[in-house]
C-alpha cells in the first residue's frame, strides 16, 4: 500500500525521525488556517504548498510551490487543489489533487548552506537483507544519478539478526561528508529511520531530499512510503490511511468481493484459479504472441456467481478483446465450473461482447468440455494449455 507524503511523515515522526512539519488541507481556507497554526508552532513565515498524490516529481510538475504570505498560501492552494498534476511518474492525463500539505519553509538562510541528500531503506531481494541506499546527490531523480554517476550511490546492508549497528549509522553520516553537529544528527536520523521501516512493516521508505538545514538539523523534506499489504493486519491504524481515490477502481471492487485482480496493459482478459496457474497462464499468453490485460485469481470456489463477478470485472476494461478462462478442477469439479460459466454467460446476455476461450482441466474435464460445446454460446473449449492460448490468438 502506498502512502501520501503527509502520512509517511506522520509515521516518521512517531518513530522520532526529524521531519519538515506540516498540516494537510483540503480547501484554500483550511490551508490558510494550517499556515497560521504552523507559524505559531514553528515561527516560520514562509510555507511550501505540496500536492498530495501518489507520484513523485511533483516539484517539476508544478505541485510544490513556496508561499511567502498568507495571500499566497490561499492563491497557490486554490490553484493546486483540484488540478490534474502531471509528473514523470503519473499517467499522461495526470492525477487529481484532493489534498495539499502546508509545510514550514526549511530552506531558510543561516550559518551554512542547506544541503540535500538521498536516503532510502528497502529490501535487497538478491541477498535477502534490508539495506540503506544513500547519496550526496539528493533532491534529484535517483534513477538519473544511478545511470550517470553510479559511484555516488552507496549501500549499507543490515544483518537481520543484528539489526542496524551504531557503526553503520555513523558510516552513512561519514560517507555523506558530514561532521560535527550535522554528523550526530544524521546518525540519529538514520537510526530512527531504520526503526520506522522495520516497525511499520514497510517495503520502502524513500526520503528525497533529506535536508541538512543551515543550522545543522537533519530532516525529511519528502517521504515516499510503501507498506507491506500482508502485514497491514498488524497495523489497523495504517490500514485507515488507504486512499481509495489513488487506487485502480476495478482492483478496489475486486478486493471488496475477495478476488485478487491486478490490472495490466494487454488485451487478453484472464480468469484463473490459483495464483501460480494465473502466472503460468500469463506466460503462456505471452509466448503465443498475446498480451494479458489482467491477473485474476478467482480462488477455489468457481461457482456461477463468482464467475459472473469475475467476467464483469474483466469486461470493465475496454482493452479486453478476448477472455481466457483457465481453471484446474481439483477440489472443484470441472463440470460444475463449466455450468457456472454457461449460467453466468446466459445471465449476462449482451454484456459479454468478446469471444471466450475456456480451458478446464482436472476432475470431469471431458464432461465440462461437452457441456460448453453443447451450450451454443460463443465459447470455445480446450483441454490442452497450448491449444487454449492458440485459440485466444486466433480470436483476437
Ligand atoms: P517531489 O518533487 O515530488 O519529489 O517533491 P519534494 O517533496 O521532494 O519537493 C520538491 C522540491 O521542493 C525539493 O527538492 C525542494 O527543492 C523544494 N522544497 C521542498 N520543501 C521546501 C521548502 O521548505 N522551501 C523551499 N524553498 N523549497 C522546498
Ligand atoms: Mn522528492
Mean pLDDT computed over 146-169: 97
Q: Give the distance (Å) from ligand 2 centre to CA of residue 71.
A: 26
Residue 13 φ/ψ region, left for φ over 0, alpha for ψ in the -120 to 50 degree band, beta for the rest: alpha
157 is catalytic: no
Q: Which domains does the chain have, with CATH numbers?
A: 1-20+108-247 (3.30.470.20), 21-105 (3.30.1490.20), 248-395 (3.40.50.261)
Q: Give the distance (Å) from ligand 1 centre to CA of residue 68.
A: 15
pLDDT at 382: 86
> What is the distance between the alpha carbons of residues 348 and 307, in angstroms, rounded to a whole number?
11
Judge whether 368 and 335 are in contact, CB under 8 Å: yes
pLDDT at 216: 96
User: What atom of ligand 1 comes closest to residue 106's alpha carbon?
Assistant: 23
385 falls in which pLDDT band (50, 70, 90)?
A: confident
For atom 14 of ligand 1, the residue with the nearest CA is 139
For the stretch 243-299, pLDDT in tens is 999 998 889 999 888 898 999 999 999 999 989 999 999 999 999 889 999 999 988
pLDDT at 332: 80
Judge whether 298 and 306 are in contact, CB under 8 Å: yes
118 is catalytic: yes
Q: Give the distance (Å) from ligand 1 centre to CA of residue 221.
A: 7
For the stretch 5-15, pLDDT in tens is 999 999 999 99
For the stretch 174-207, pLDDT in tens is 999 999 999 999 999 999 999 999 999 999 999 9
pLDDT at 55: 96
Q: Give the distance (Å) from ligand 2 centre to CA of residue 6.
A: 12
User: Residues lining ligand 1, CB < 6 A?
Assistant: 48, 50, 56-59, 64, 66, 105-107, 139, 208-209, 221-222
The chain-wide mean pLDDT, for the chain, equals: 94
pLDDT at 53: 98
CA trace torsion 165, 171, 174, 178 (10° rounding): -30
> What is the distance between the alpha carbons of residues 201 and 224, in angstroms, rounded to a whole number?
14
Q: What beta strand segments (E) does 70-189 contain? A: 84-85, 95-96, 100-104, 115-124, 129-135, 153-158
The residue whose CB lies within 8 Å of the most ligand 1 atoms, and thus the one to mutate among 44, 45, 64, 89, is 64
pLDDT at 329: 87
Q: What beta strand segments (E) does the chain contain? A: 22-25, 47-51, 64-67, 84-85, 95-96, 100-104, 115-124, 129-135, 153-158, 202-212, 218-220, 224-227, 260-263, 268-272, 294-297, 322-329, 356-362, 379-382
> Would you say residue 218 has pLDDT above 80?
yes
Mean pLDDT computed over 46-50: 98
Ligand nearest to the CA of 139: 1
Ligand nearest to the CA of 221: 1
Give residue for cell 478483446.
Answer: 321
> What is the distance between the alpha carbons of residues 304 and 310, in angstroms, rounded to a whole number?
10
Question: In this structure, what are the phi and psi dihedrals at residue 145, rounded to the nearest 5 degrees?
Answer: -60, -45
Amino acid at each position: 500500500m502506498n502512502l501520501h507524503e503527509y502520512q509517511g511523515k506522520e509515521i516518521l515522526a512517531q518513530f522520532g525521525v526529524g521531519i519538515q512539519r506540516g498540516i494537510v488541507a483540503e480547501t484554500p481556507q483550511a490551508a490558510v488556517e494550517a499556515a497560521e497554526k504552523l507559524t505559531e508552532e514553528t515561527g516560520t513565515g514562509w510555507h511550501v504548498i505540496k500536492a498530495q498524490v501518489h507520484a513523485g516529481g511533483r516539484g517539476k510538475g508544478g505541485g510544490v510551490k513556496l508561499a511567502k504570505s498568507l495571500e499566497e498560501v490561499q492563491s497557490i492552494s486554490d490553484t493546486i487543489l483540484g488540478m490534474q498534476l502531471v509528473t514523470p511518474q503519473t499517467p499522461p492525463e495526470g492525477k487529481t489533487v484532493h489534498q495539499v500539505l502546508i509545510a514550514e519553509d526549511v530552506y531558510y538562510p543561516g550559518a551554512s548552506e542547506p544541503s540535500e541528500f538521498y536516503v532510502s531503506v528497502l529490501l535487497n531481494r538478491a541477498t535477502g537483507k534490508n539495506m540503506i541506499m544513500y547519496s550526496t546527490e539528493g533532491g534529484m531523480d535517483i534513477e538519473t544519478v544511478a545511470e550517470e554517476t553510479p559511484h555516488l550511490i552507496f549501500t549499507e546492508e543490515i544483518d537481520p539478526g543484528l539489526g542496524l549497528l551504531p557503526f553503520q549509522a555513523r558510516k552513512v553520516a561519514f560517507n555523506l561528508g558530514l561532521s560535527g553537529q550535522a554528523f550526530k544528527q544524521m546518525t540519529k536520523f538514520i537510526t530512527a529511520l531504520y526503526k520506522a521501516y522495520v516497525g511499520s512493516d514497510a517495503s520502502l521508505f524513500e526520503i528525497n531530499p533529506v535536508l541538512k538545514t543551515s543550522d545543522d538539523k537533519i530532516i525529511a523534506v519528502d517521504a515516499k512510503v510503501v507498506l507491506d499489504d500482508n502485514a497491514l493486519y498488524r497495523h489497523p491504524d495504517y490500514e485507515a490511511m488507504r486512499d481509495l481515490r489513488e487506487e485502480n477502481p476495478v482492483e478496489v471492487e475486486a478486493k471488496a468481493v475477495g478476488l485478487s485482480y491486478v490490472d495490466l496493459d494487454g488485451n487478453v482478459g484472464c480468469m484463473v484459479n490459483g495464483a501460480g496457474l494465473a502466472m503460468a497462464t500469463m506466460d503462456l499468453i505471452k509466448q503465443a504472441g498475446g498480451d494479458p490485460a489482467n491477473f485474476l485469481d478467482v480462488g477455489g470456489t468457481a461457482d456461477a456467481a463468482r464467475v459472473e463477478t469475475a467476467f464483469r470485472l474483466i469486461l470493465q476494461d475496454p482493452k479486453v478483446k478476448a477472455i481466457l478462462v483457465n481453471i484446474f478442477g481439483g477440489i472443484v469439479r470441472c463440470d460444475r465450473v463449466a455450468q457456472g460459466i454457461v449460467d453466468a454467460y446466459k445471465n449476462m446476455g449482451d454484456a459479454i461482447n468478446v469471444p471466450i476461450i475456456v480451458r478446464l482441466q482436472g476432475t470431469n474435464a471431458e464432461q465440462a468440455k461437452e457441456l460448453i460445446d453443447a451450450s451454443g454460446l460463443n465459447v470455445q473449449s480446450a483441454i490442452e494449455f497450448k491449444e487454449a492460448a492458440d485459440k485466444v490468438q486466433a480470436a483476437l
